Amino acid sequence: MRTIRILALLAAGSLGGTLAACGGDDAKSGSAAAGAGGPIAVKATDTSCEVAQNALNAGTHVFAITNSGAKVTEFYVYAAGDRVVGEVENITPGLSRELRVELPAGSYQTACKPGMIGDGIRSGLTVSGSSPALTEDALLAQATSSYTRYITSQTEALVQKTGDFVAAVKAGDVAKAKELFPVARTYYERIEPVAEIFGDLDPKIDGREDGATAELPFTGFHRLEKDLWVSGDVSKSGPIADQLLTDVKEMVTKAKAEKLSPLQLANGAKELLDEVANSKITGEEDRYSHTDLWDFAANVDGSRAAVAALRPALEKRDPDLVKQIDAGFQGVETELGKYRVEDGWKLHNQLTEAQLKGLTDVINALAEPISQIAGAIAQK
């Protein structure tokens, strides 16, 4: 939770024109098979992801995904740097969905995500041949649609996991609610700069006790966090939990309709790292549960997604900056990876000052080049 909404300011601001161009409809789940050779079959199970072809000609292709597993799955096509080129989510067991995606020549990865978590089951995909080079403006426009797909995937998981968390709180299952708290927050923290556009919703969902006012009392995730960790009594937390889910759903509806400009993406990527530096490394964010490293990792994920969306345009404008940023993300991943514990993270209060300094250093190393993206994007 923060106070200055740069994204919101920019949304209303003057950088319209080519920068804010939002064209390039993401055209997912299309029904017509417009590709050269008909739909490419993808057989997804809980443990496999068989893509019928791993070499394609440049152009528009349709993937037809069939889920014969027992878990809900997702299918992604990633370009370099895990930029989402195409994505279809919520493929329930037994269902088939189609993904239409335009693929210029290059190296890609496909991924199924059974259970909708993790890096997924990946395979390489090579696209060769020529397709008309995109102009920089078109690349920037693509960034917007690429990021919109990311928002869609994250918000669906957010609603689901927040629902599970709320249900656990209302059932009085403190242990389960504690387990779900950092998981549900992960999806929120990944897209927080978007959530923050919508006025009071972010403070209602993610506000902290010290930020509460008469108009906006202490509610949301952190209020429930306090109930769970400090008193351990959630018998009266039901209304707060219900309101949290209502607010999250409202935010998600609005977020899906939002088209962010490339400049907003660039600033969002930076803001997420500012979040890490200002409130996660300090342990302010999750002061009762100390699960700050979950939020830390999620903020970095979100920043990476925003950068990935901008990557094709950025590579044309400032390839050195892209290299610095890649190295920066690598540095953060290595340092943060030291504190991984199974599917989660060490608690903030288990880290020494020196370890927190190490994390600060890698975030600084990443955030400086990321702060240069907006300028690189804006400068003609």
Partner 1 sequence: MSDTTVSRRRAMALAGAGVAGIAGAAAVGSAVARQGAGASERLAAGAVSFYGRSQAGIVTPAQDRLHFVAFDVVTKDRNALIRMLKAWTAAAARMTAGHDAGAVGATAGIPEAPPDDTGEAIGLPPSGLTLTVGFGSTLFRDAAGRDRFGIAARKPAALVDLPTFQGDLINPSISGGDIVVQACANDPQVAVHAIRNLARIGMGVVSVRWSQLGFGRTSSTTKDQATPRNLFGFKDGTANLKAEETDLLRQWLWVAAGDGPEWMTGGSYMVTRKIRMLIETWDRTSLGEQEAIIGRTKGEGAALGRDKEFDEPDLAKLGPDGEPAIAKTAHVRLAHPTVNGGARLLRRGYNFVDGSDGLGRLNAGLFFIAYQRDPRSQFIPIQTRLSRNDDMNEYIRHVSSGIFACPPGVTGSDDFWGSGLFA
Per CB under 8 A, residues contacting partner 1 are 15, 263, 324, 328, 331, 357, 360-361, 364-369, 371-372, 374-379
* Least gap, CB of 375 to partner 1 (angstroms): 3
Least gap, CB of 15 to partner 1 (angstroms): 7
Quick one: CA dihedral 200, 154, 135, 59, positive or negative?
Answer: negative
Beta strands in the chain (DSSP E): 40-44, 49-51, 55-57, 59-67, 73-79, 83-91, 96-103, 106-112, 121-128, 340-341, 344-345
Q: Taking the complex as a whole, how short is the minimal distance between the CB of residue 156 and partner 1, in angstroms?
A: 32
Smallest distance from the beta carbon of 368 to partner 1, in angstroms? 5
**Bridging pattern class, strands 96-103 and 121-128:** unpaired
Kindly tell me which of 3 and 379 has the beta carbon lying closer to partner 1.
379
Q: Which residues contact 95 (CB under 8 A, 6 or more apart)?
A: 66, 67
Position 71: which residue type?
K
Comparing CB distances to partner 1, the nearer of 206 and 318 is: 318
Rg (CA), the chain: 21
Which residue's CB is nearer to partner 1, number 120 or number 328?
328
Q: How far apart are CA 75 and CA 45, in angstroms?
A: 11
Q: Which is nearer to partner 1, 234 or 313 (CB)?
A: 313
CA distance 205 to 189: 11
- Shortest separation between residue 10's beta carbon and partner 1, angstroms: 9
Q: What is the nearest approach in angstroms of partner 1 to the Cβ of residue 315?
A: 18
Measured from the CB atom, the residue of 207 and 369 that comes closer to partner 1 is: 369
308 token code pair: 């990935």
Q: Which residue, 312 or 328, has its beta carbon nearer to partner 1?
A: 328
Q: Which of 55, 61, 65, 56 is nearest to 34 (CA)?
A: 61
Q: How far is the CB of 372 from partner 1 (least distance, A)?
A: 7
Nearest to 294 by CA among 206, 189, 197, 377: 189
CA distance 292 to 203: 18
Contact 226/209 with Cβ under 8 angstroms?
A: yes
Q: Nearer to partner 1 by C-beta: 19 or 49? A: 19
What's the closest the beta carbon of residue 271 comes to partner 1, in angstroms?
A: 13
216: left (phi over 0), alpha (psi -120 to 50) or beta: beta
250 vs 368, which CB is nearer to partner 1?
A: 368
